[in-house]
């Protein structure tokens, strides 16, 4: 990334692995002060904190399940109090529970919608006062082409990502 974040406070959900991990590294390398959520992989989160620190960046892990409104609110308040108001939010946390629609369970449907769509709603809602306080902000929601085109065995995932695309458009106007 060829941008300078000049110590802007960033929050990345699902930041401990995969795409989220790369986002955390890029934001920190660009001068961001990065907080990131992880749900269960404390070891990955700790490794990432050390990797970022070794390159001169700043990143801090917070255990928070994006589907838990109280946990999200508490983590966002802690980030605000200890790091400053969040100015950049990257909603990256996501799961899939792929199965043909005929065999998909209600639990599989609900899990994917809860993390991918409701989680984005909860985190964005909690962070919004920070953006207003800072007088500047950006929200980036990580979606998928599956939200536009669908894919066999991914009705729950496609619905969650289509909903996320709609929410993103609604927030942008």
Residue 3 resides in a domain:
no
pLDDT of residue 173: 85
Catalytic residue among 36, 38, 109, 157: 157
Q: Are 103 and 153 in contact (CB under 8 A)?
A: no
- For residue 1, is it within any domain? no
Provide the β-strand partners of residue 37: 62
Q: Residue 165 belongs to what H/E stretch?
A: helix 155-172
Instruction: Record the pTM.
Output: 0.95
Q: Is 38 a catalytic residue?
A: no
User: What CA–CA distance (Å, rounded) separates 173 from 170?
Assistant: 6
Round to whole Å and give the CA distance between 66 and 103.
Answer: 26
Residue 4 lies in a domain: no
Q: Please indicate, yes or no, if residue 157 is contained in any of the structural domains.
A: yes
Residue 69's contacts (CB-CB under 8 Å, 6 or more residues apart) are: 122, 126
In a domain, 159, yes or no: yes
Q: What is the tally of structural domains in the chain? A: 1
Listing from the earlier edge strand, what are the strands of the sheet with 86-91?
Answer: 58-63, 33-38, 9-12, 86-91, 138-141
Let me know if residue 58 belongs to a domain.
Answer: yes
Residues 31 and 62: their CA atoms lie apart, in Å, by 19
Burial class (CB in 10 A: 0-12, 13-18, 19+), 61: buried
Asked if residues 131 and 137 have their Cβ atoms less than 8 Å apart, the reply is: yes
Q: Supply the CATH number for residue 74's domain.
A: 3.40.50.720
Mean pLDDT by 10 residues, the chain (173 residues): 89 97 98 97 96 98 98 99 98 97 98 98 98 96 96 97 97 90
Q: Are 63 and 56 in contact (CB under 8 A)?
A: no
Q: What pLDDT, on the 0 to 100 scale, is given for residue 2?
A: 75
Domain that holds residue 21: 9-172
Answer yes or no: are the C-beta atoms of 21 and 49 closer than 8 Å: no
Among residues 142, 135, 28, 29, the alpha carbon closest in space to that of 86 is found at: 135
**Is residue 65 in a domain?**
yes
């Amino acid at each position: 990334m060829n941008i300078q974040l000049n110590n802007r406070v960033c929050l990345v959900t699902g930041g401990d692995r995969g795409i989220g991990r790369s986002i955390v590294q890029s934001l920190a390398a660009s001068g961001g002060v990065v907080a990131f959520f992880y749900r269960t992989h404390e070891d990955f989160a700790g490794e990432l904190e050390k990797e970022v620190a070794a390159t001169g960046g700043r990143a801090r892990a917070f255990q928070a399940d994006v589907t838990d409104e109280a946990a999200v609110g508490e983590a966002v308040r802690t980030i605000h109090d200890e790091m400053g108001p969040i100015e950049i939010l990257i909603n990256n946390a996501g799961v899939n529970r792929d199965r043909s629609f005929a065999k998909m369970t209600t639990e599989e449907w609900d899990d994917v919608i809860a993390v991918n769509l409701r989680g984005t709603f909860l985190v964005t809602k909690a962070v919004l006062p920070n953006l207003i306080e800072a007088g500047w902000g950006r929200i980036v929601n990580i979606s998928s082409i599956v939200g536009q085109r669908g894919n066999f065995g991914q009705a729950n995932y496609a619905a969650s990502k289509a909903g996320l695309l709609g929410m993103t458009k609604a927030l942008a106007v």
